[in-house]
Amino acid sequence: MPQLKSDPLAASGSLPFWTLALMRSNASIILALVIVASFIASPPALGGATGLKGVPEAFDEFSATEQASAGTPTATRGKVIAQKYEHLFGGLFDQGVSGLESMELRLLFRATNVVTFYEARAKDVRRFKLVLNELWKRGEATDHDVMDVYGALLSLRRFDEARELANAYEFDPPEPLPDMTDGLSAADGTPTVYLVSPSGRRLTRTSIDVDHGAKIIVISHPLCHFSRNAMEFIKGAPVLDAVFARNALWVAPVDRNINFDVLQGWNKSHPDSAHVLAHSRNEWPYLDSWSTPTFYFMKDGILIDKVVGWPSDDQGQKLVDAATKAGLFDERERGDPR
């Protein structure tokens, strides 16, 4: 069971009589007992840090890290949050979570929900399932809790495991999962995506060659109105429309939803900006931000430039500049994007 409160001896403010006797008789023993007493009064923190730290205090520190990392690139923020989570809470799972009080267990669930949202690591999703199971055994889990863990499994693209979880907890997902055709592996470092079938409900995993020729990788989603504004602008700007038609790959980011119907419907009505679905952020180490929209201009596997966000149509000129830098324009195509 994790150490969550000060030892009663240390909290009493005094040492027992035998300690005092030894302290009077031998200076070397005095030093040893001081060291031992200080260790008892300040046991290691939950994740191995020094100083007493219970679950509530650890959660407050973890939340402060999450807030402080806001505005940093997706990859950086995920790593910072994952490291802090491991430091503060990793030791709890070595000891088991069944001994936690209900309030502590709920805080641990919330922290694990956060870390799996920003950095979907397999071991943290396994931990998420363990905490959910303990909440369920106590009669304290809700459908929303199950939905959070279900979504974390989707972000890892563990569709079969997500189905099993939904069945085990009698949970009705918001959308039926599509069938999957997946015979690929990213072992060679090639990024992979899922193609959305034009009919039926099927995702087909395929690899993407970004090491040869020009490519504009656009992190985008039809449910993001900034993305839609950007796509509308590009479609209405002939100088950009031609370049994006030749070179753009529109990639829906990894998150806790598939939104199959949304993507399928968008692709049917907007074939010029049809989206694929990313398999894993780890397959794209050179993409530091997965905010939508973000435009990455690649040439023979090298990142040339990027444009982040779409606060206004003034971003159009930045796209022209980036495409020019990447050598994507023919001479006759250059001009005002508006």
Residue 264, H or E segment: helix 260-269
Report pLDDT digits (tens) over 150-202: 999 999 999 999 999 999 999 999 999 999 888 775 556 789 999 999 999 99
SS3 assignment, position 17: helix
- Kindly write down the DSSP assignment for every residue of 180-215, as one continuous string: EE-----TTS--EEEEEPSSSSEEEEEE---SSSEE
Nearest alpha carbon to residue 116 among 161, 144, 148? 148
Contact 101, 137 (CB under 8 A): no
Task: State how far the Cα of 325 lies from the Cα of 302, in Å rounded to an integer.
Answer: 12
Report pLDDT digits (tens) over 188-247: 678 999 999 999 999 999 999 999 999 999 999 999 999 999 999 999 999 999 999 999
Contact 69, 80 (CB under 8 A): yes
* Paired tokens of 142: 């809700």
Which amino acid, residue 243? V
Tell me what pLDDT residue 39 has. 31
- First and final CA of the chain: distance in angstroms? 65
Contact 184, 205 (CB under 8 A): yes
Residue 140, H or E segment: none
The strand pairing partners of 296, in sequence order, are 217, 306
Q: Where are the domains of the chain?
A: 8-41, 55-168, 181-333
Nearest alpha carbon to residue 84 among 66, 109, 103? 66
Rg from Cα positions in the chain: 26
| Stated length of the chain | 338
- Kindly write down the DSSP assignment for every residue of 76-88, as one continuous string: HHHHHHHHHHHHH
Contact 125, 152 (CB under 8 A): yes
The single residue listed with the structure tokens 């009064």 is 41
Task: State how far the Cα of 20 lies from the Cα of 279, in Å rounded to an integer.
Answer: 64
Which amino acid, residue 291? S
Question: Which residues does 211 contact at the CB level (< 8 Å), separation at least 6?
Answer: 300, 301
What is the DSSP-derived secondary structure letter of residue 97? S
Spans of the chain below 70 pLDDT: 1-53, 185-188, 331-338
Q: What is the pTM of this model?
A: 0.79
Nearest alpha carbon to residue 124 among 79, 66, 180, 67? 79
Tell me what pLDDT residue 186 has. 55
* Paired tokens of 321: 């500049």
Task: State how far the Cα of 184 lies from the Cα of 204, in Å rounded to an integer.
Answer: 10
Vertex 121: Cα angle to 118 and 124 (nearest 5): 95
Instruction: Give the architecture (CATH level 2) of 181-333.
Output: 3-Layer(aba) Sandwich (3.40)
Task: State how far the Cα of 293 lies from the Cα of 244, in Å rounded to an integer.
Answer: 14
* Paired tokens of 79: 């790593």
